[in-house]
Structures are given as structure tokens and as C-alpha cells.
Amino acid sequence: MASWVLTDSLIRPLPGNRIFPKPRCTSATNNNNVFKIRNLPGSKANSFGSSFKVSTLSRDRNWGLLNVSAPLKVVITSEDDKDKETINGVNGMEDGGEFDPAAPPPFKLADIRAAIPKHCWVKDPVRSMSYVVRDVVVVFGLAAVATYFNNWLVWPLYWIAQGTMFWALFVLGHDCGHGSFSNNPVLNSVVGHLLHSSILVPYHGWRISHRTHHQNHGHVENDESWHPLSEKIYKSLDNATRLLRFTLPFPMLAYPIYLWGRSPGKKGSHFHPDSDLFVPNERKDVITSTACWTAMVGLLAYLSFAMGPIQLLKLYGIPYWIFVMWLDLVTYLHHHGHEEKLPWYRGKEWSYLRGGLTTLDRDYGWINNIHHDIGTHVIHHLFPQIPHYHLIEATEAARPVLGKHYREPRKSGPVPFHLFGILIRSMKKDHYVSDTGDIVYYQTDSQLFGTSKSD
């Protein structure tokens, strides 16, 4: 039923090709599958010079157990040129000078990259590990305090705080999967497995599907995170499923279900090595992550006998579900709920840049620092190898280039209560998109909640 939440990536799709979750064999003799790449700012030039050719079969290389979702440092120049187009003589404008969010932007991905200071690309493993140490110390400290007092006035505060810290651990594991944690794939893999397994996330399984999300952000069919249901799929769901999918709090509890069965209209599991999510050379990675996840389940089972199931529920079970709600809330609001409707794309209208520009930044008040500024999301989606501690600076540097394509987030108080209103409005309005058309917008099912006629 309600299997829909996230997944991401980092390597930009090839121009003119639609990326599907599970690509299959390609002939190694096909000379057309070659494109030019060049280094990102701040990266060392390769030994072949600043531009050389690589086979698009590089994804099929066997990275073994240390595989991370770190993109090649690429710029696909033909795709950049595609993104720099004009409409009615003025880029991004309709007649009369009105801004059109669906119009091709007046800049290229390389223009945004050039505006970001070179040091923003530098990954400091010591600094990254310091955040891990900080979060782990807080997690164990909160558990110790709650256990010491064992008071029903303390437990609710503990659940909220610890669930938020579980979410912070997830974000650091997410950075490991992107390769923005460090340049060392061994460190990324080890830390990612420890962090994600501790909160029942299969590291490689989720890392790979999250890679698909980043590769296809903003694409109706190919996106992997809170992507829209087509009208056909939406109407094929029974009434109870539709209602639960858009009735809070149920959508905010979807992540575990998504891990097992993905979204409506898609098949596969993040735990099964033969899932449609993965290619054959990722099989060992998926088995490794599933084994680590299983070991954590075994540890929790042992702790249930050692301390009692009620105590484990209070210390771990309820914070886990708070974490799930954080994950679903944040990932949903990064792609939904803007005051004006934002486009979703298909076919030739989709490009990596245009899809990435439909993402949204969000302000979470005090939580920004706790969950490592993951609300600074637009630049993260376009350049997922930038470490989280450089995202704010990179965003400020890129804003003059982005212009109206950057949507300033509403400022939050200490606690981001305003986001709940945005979430509720979106759930009431954003139900499905048309089965046809290369630029589509969310439509409303007027019968679901008795709302007004569909836009």
C-alpha cells in the first residue's frame, strides 16, 4: 500500500537516455556509448588531461563491498547546452515577463558549479567523523539519562529527542552513501553500515536506490523518492489505499514499507539482491547490507530478552518510529508543498538540471544543526558530493546564478511548526499527475476529501 519514500544517487544520466532503475547488458563494442567528462572545481586533473573519454559501461565495474554512491566528477557538456535554452526570447519567462518554473533555465549546470568556491568541494574525514562522535555520544547520553530517571515525565521528551538523533545518524550515513563523507571508500562503507544498520536501514540497498533518485529527480516515472502517481496508477488503487496514502499520519510511517516493496507501480525490495533496483554486480553489496541489517535485528531480539520488551520499546522502538516520521516528512517536503505548483517532467523535457531545480530548501530552526543542514537541499541535489558542512556557503554562492529558480525557504522559529501546515495542504491537493504530457503538474482528486474541483 503506502510504499513510497526515498532513494538517491550521484552520477548524472547520459544525455538523451532515460535512466531506469535496473539497466541491463550493453555491448562493450558500442562506440556510441562514450561521452566527455571534465573535472569539478577543486579536483585534481587526471593523468590524461582535463578532458578525456570514458565508456558509459563504467557503472558495470565491480566495486566489491566498498561501493559507494560517489559520482564521477563529470560535466556532460551536451546536457549543459541542452539546458541553456530560451522561450519567447527570454530565458525562463513567459510573455509579459512572467516567470515560468517549467521553462529551461538561462544558465548551465557548469555556471552553478563555477560560482561555488573550490573549498566547498573538499571533504574532511576528521571533521566528518567528529559529527559521528558527537551524535553517537548524544544518543547514548540520552538513553542513559532516560534509563536513570525512568519517569513518565521524561520518556516523551526522550522519545522526541532520541528519534531526532536517529534521524541525524541517518543523514551522516546518507553522506557516506554519496561519498561526501570522505574520499576513502573503506571509511564510507564501514561508517555507513554502522550508522544505517543501527537504525534498521540496509546501507547498500538504500544507497543504490537513493542514487536512482538523484539520477532521475523530477522525472515522473524514473524518480525513486516521493515521485507522483500517474492518473492510471492512482485510479487503480482501492479507495482505502488512496485515503491512507494521503491521510496523516500514515504517509509519515511509510519508509519501512517502502524498503520492503517500493512505491505503487514499482517492484523490488531493498533487501533482495535480485531486486529490480540492482544490477548483477551489486549483488554482494546488497547481501552484505542485508546481513548487517539482520544482525541488528538479532541484537534487538537479544536485548528484548535481556531488558524486557517494554524497556526496549521505550528505549529504541518508539524513537525508531519518530525517526521514520522525520525521514518521511523531510524527504516529502523537499519535493512538495511549494506555494506555486512546480513541474514534473517526462521524455525530452526532462534533464538533470531542470529536474534538480524543482527541489526545495526548507528551514528547520534549531533542527538545522542537529540534522546536519539537510534542509539545504537544492545544491545537495545538484552536487551531492559537497559535504553537508559546506552546503549553506555553496547555496549562498550559487543563488545569484539560480535567480528565481531558487525558492527562498520560509524562515522557521526554533521549532519548525509551520511545516506541518505545508504538509497538510500538500496532502490535500497533490494526488496524481496526467498520464500524458512531458510537463505535468499535480492534480487533485475532488472526491478524496470532498475538496474543490481538480485544477
Q: What is the pLDDT of residue 40?
A: 40
**What is the C-alpha separation between 269 and 274, in angstroms, rounded?**
9
Distance from C-alpha of 416 to C-alpha of 423, rounded to nearest angstrom: 12
Which residue in 108, 109, 107 sits closest to 73, CA to CA? 109
C-alpha cell read off for 370: 542537529
Residue 121 grid cell: 568541494
Q: Helices 125-149 and 185-198, interaxial angle, to 10°?
A: 20
Q: Is 88 left (phi over 0), alpha (psi -120 to 50) or beta?
A: left
d(Cα 208, Cα 213) in Å, to the nearest integer? 9
Residue 194, C-beta contacts closer than 8 angstroms, at least 6 positions apart = none
6: which 3 cell numbers? 526515498
Sign of the CA dihedral running 344, 348, 353, 354: negative
Handedness of CA 404, 405, 410, 412 (dihedral sign): negative
Question: Residues 357, 378: contact at Cβ < 8 Å?
Answer: yes
What does DSSP assign to residue 265?
Answer: T
Alpha carbon distance 144, 197 (integer Å): 21
pLDDT at 34: 36
Bridge partners (DSSP) of residue 121 are: none
12: three-class secondary structure by DSSP: coil
Residue 118, helix vs strand vs coil: helix
Local confidence pLDDT in tens for the 455 residues of the chain:
343 433 333 334 434 434 444 433 333 334 333 333 334 444 444 333 333 333 333 334 333 334 444 433 333 334 444 444 333 223 444 444 688 999 999 999 999 999 999 999 999 999 999 999 999 999 999 999 999 999 999 999 999 999 999 999 999 999 999 999 999 999 999 999 999 999 999 999 999 999 999 999 999 999 998 889 999 999 999 888 999 999 999 999 999 999 998 887 788 899 999 998 999 999 999 999 999 999 999 999 999 999 999 999 999 999 999 999 999 999 999 999 999 999 999 999 999 999 999 999 999 999 999 999 999 999 999 999 999 999 999 999 999 999 999 999 999 999 999 999 999 999 999 999 999 999 999 999 998 976 444 44
What is the pLDDT, as a whole number, of residue 450? 61
Confidence (pLDDT) at 266: 85
Cβ atoms of 445 and 235 within 8 Å: the answer is no
Q: Which three cell numbers stand for residue 59?
A: 557503472
What angle do the packed helices 283-307 and 185-198 form, to 10 degrees?
A: 40
CB contact set of 363 (below 8 Å; sequence gap of 6+)? 375, 409, 410, 411, 412, 416
Indicate the pTM of the whole model: 0.79
